Amino acid sequence: MLVACLVMATDAGIKLCKDEVGMSMQEIIDIQIIFEGMVCYNSWFSQESYDVHPLMEIDCRSIVKYYTKLVKIFPRETTEQGWKMTKFHQQMHTVRNIERFGSPQVFNGGPMEKNLKFLCKLPAKTSQKRHHLMDLQSGQRIIENIAIGVACREFLGRDPFDHDDTDSLANDGTTNETPSTGTDIISISTGGARFILKLQENNGGFAIASVTSNSATIKTSGVDLDLIRFLGKEVLPFITKKSIEVLCEHKRDGNTFHAHPNYLGQGSWYDWADFKWIDEESGIPYIVLGKIFGFVLLGPEFDFTDPQLCASLRNETTGIFAIVNSCKDPSESLFNSRRSKMFEIAHLMGYESGKRKQLMFVTVDCISAPAVVVPNIGGIPGSVLQVKPQHTWQSFFSF
């Protein structure tokens, strides 16, 4: 369903629906609303908790309007029954059931069915399996297990029927989890595969001098040419040794950002991320999408005060920098043009009239969050679609 939403959000997908299927733009928008609504409804339905106040008014109204629109756009004409099905009608009672019993995750049949093994199957195996005795004997086994469990917890401090979580225990019996200190700790590391770009003295060009043993495929696949030109022009002339090590991986707060020219020999892997910028005039922060092509560590030997440095490095301080092809402006919503709530459109810098992509240095501290991005096939060069984070989909279910 999500793939269908993505295809219909691209310019090529819209053209395909018009030319090959003969759909009008309004029909495409209606189907896109239904598909996105189903994805958002599933996310809304999977919440662990709900706000009681808007539940009966807003959410109930949205469910009725959504399914009314679904019946109108997709009539089931192949059967006489149509949409007069029990499963379809039960959705109208979703809000009332949530108000009475709580989140569907509480009474979902999946995790509750697992209890049948302990409460029914295992006790039934100890019975004589006779119809008139099975309930009584199974019940006795359950009572005995509960009584033994209570006694063991009282005297031994543990339930004998609980499984040991050996994965979370070290050899000395202590847990491997990091103790909480009451403050937010951001784990940061940069490394992974790496290669060294070196200036060739004989012809003034640039070449890969060496790579790590686990990234030998970089030699055969080569590195992005725009990245080589950018580093050779903006960094190597300001370094005494005329070489720089480019890192292909950065780990930050549980997320790994890749910028590998040939990951595991399967092709390039350049991750996208949201970068936090601050407006120089107003001081208000804003988020801009960017594609990462590598990481470099610039130490104290690098002169950040040199007036000939590029603007993205001038007057910075030592640290780790991501080499990014940034978008021009913050991503724009597609709701006004295509009634899409889940996707935003952005435009990369440097793709006007077939120009090379414009790279810049951005400190890794500006990385806000990973991003899911697909090219806007059929759109203008450098146009991309960003999928909004999954945890926000539930708020989009409103009709």
Q: What is the mean pLDDT of residues 200-224?
A: 60
pLDDT band with cut points at 50, 70 and 90 for residue 198: confident
Question: Are 321 and 227 a contacting pair, CB within 8 Å?
Answer: no
Does one domain contain both 147 and 269? no
Backbone φ and ψ for 262, nearest 5 degrees, come out as -155, 80
Q: Which amino acid is at 127?
A: S
For residues 358 and 147, give the distance between their C-alpha atoms in angstroms, rounded to a whole number.
71
Question: Are 225 and 258 a contacting pair, CB within 8 Å?
Answer: no
CA 396 from chain centre, in angstroms, equals 17
For residues 141 and 151, give the distance between their C-alpha atoms in angstroms, rounded to a whole number.
15
In the block, residue with structure tokens 């936090």? 276
- Nearest by Cα to 160 from 169, 172, 151: 151
| pLDDT for position 178 | 38
| pLDDT for position 167 | 40
Q: What is the mean pLDDT of residues 210-234?
A: 70
Q: For the chain, what is the domain count?
A: 3
| pLDDT for position 276 | 92
| pLDDT for position 188 | 67
Of 85, 105, 125, the position where a domain reaches its end is 105
Per-residue 3-state assignment (H helix, E strand, C coil) for 209-233: EEECHHHCHHHHHCCCHHHHHHHHH
Does one domain contain both 232 and 372? yes
For residues 204 and 349, give the distance between their C-alpha atoms in angstroms, rounded to a whole number.
28
Does one domain contain both 128 and 95? no
Q: Has residue 374 been placed in a domain?
A: yes
Q: Has residue 178 been placed in a domain?
A: no
Does one domain contain both 313 and 366? yes
Q: How many alpha carbons fall within 13 Å on the CB side of residue 214?
A: 10
Question: Are 330 and 375 a contacting pair, CB within 8 Å?
Answer: no
Q: What is the extent of the structural domain holding 330? A: 188-396
Distances (CA, A) of 179 to 59, 118, 184, 189: 40, 33, 12, 20
Torsion angle in degrees (nearest 10) through CA of 176, 178, 180, 185:
-160
Q: Which amino acid is at 334?
A: L
Task: Between 129 and 293, name the one with better pLDDT.
Answer: 293
Does one domain contain both 92 and 119? no
Q: What sign does the dihedral 207-210-212-218 (CA atoms) show?
A: positive
Does one domain contain both 356 and 287? yes
Question: How many CB atoms are located within 10 Å of the residue 36 CB?
Answer: 24
Does 157 score more than 80 pLDDT?
no
Least confident of 179-183, 225-229, 380-384: 179-183
Q: What sign does the dihedral 219-224-225-226 (CA atoms) show?
A: negative
| pLDDT for position 395 | 87
Token pair recorded at residue 396:
């989009």
Does one domain contain both 135 and 207? no
**How large a percentage of the chain has pLDDT more than 70?**
82
User: Model confidence over 106-121: pLDDT tens digits?
Assistant: 665 555 666 777 777 8
For residues 8 and 6, give the distance between their C-alpha atoms in angstroms, rounded to a whole number.
6
| pLDDT for position 170 | 38
Task: Between 345 and 157, name the one with better pLDDT.
Answer: 345
| pLDDT for position 293 | 92
Q: What is the mean pLDDT of residues 170-185?
A: 38
| pLDDT for position 325 | 92
pTM, rounded to two decimals: 0.73
Q: What sign does the dihedral 87-90-94-99 (CA atoms) show?
A: negative
Q: Has residue 94 been placed in a domain?
A: yes
Does one domain contain both 267 and 358? yes
User: Model confidence over 52-68: pLDDT tens digits?
Assistant: 777 767 788 888 888 88
Does one domain contain both 385 and 323? yes
User: Model confidence over 167-177: pLDDT tens digits?
Assistant: 433 344 333 33
Backbone φ and ψ for 244, nearest 5 degrees, come out as -145, 140
Classify strands 272-278 and 367-375 as parallel, antiparallel or unpaired.
antiparallel
| pLDDT for position 158 | 63
Does one domain contain both 223 and 269? yes
Distances (CA, A) of 378 to 6, 340, 345, 375: 13, 18, 13, 9
Does 6 score more than 80 pLDDT?
yes
Least confident of 196-205, 259-268, 285-294: 196-205
Least confident of 18-32, 167-181, 291-305, 327-341: 167-181
User: Model confidence over 350-362: pLDDT tens digits?
Assistant: 776 566 788 999 9
Does one domain contain both 88 and 134? no
Does 240 score more than 60 pLDDT?
yes
Of 105, 121, 143, the position where a domain reaches its end is 105
| Rounded CA Rg of the chain | 29
User: Model confidence over 117-133: pLDDT tens digits?
Assistant: 777 788 888 888 888 88
Give, in degrees to the nearest 5, the angle at Cα 45 between 42 and 46: 90
Cβ neighbours for 236, distance < 8 A, ≥ 6 positions apart: 197, 199, 206, 242, 243, 244
Does one domain contain both 95 and 142? no
- Nearest by Cα to 274 from 342, 346, 226, 335: 346
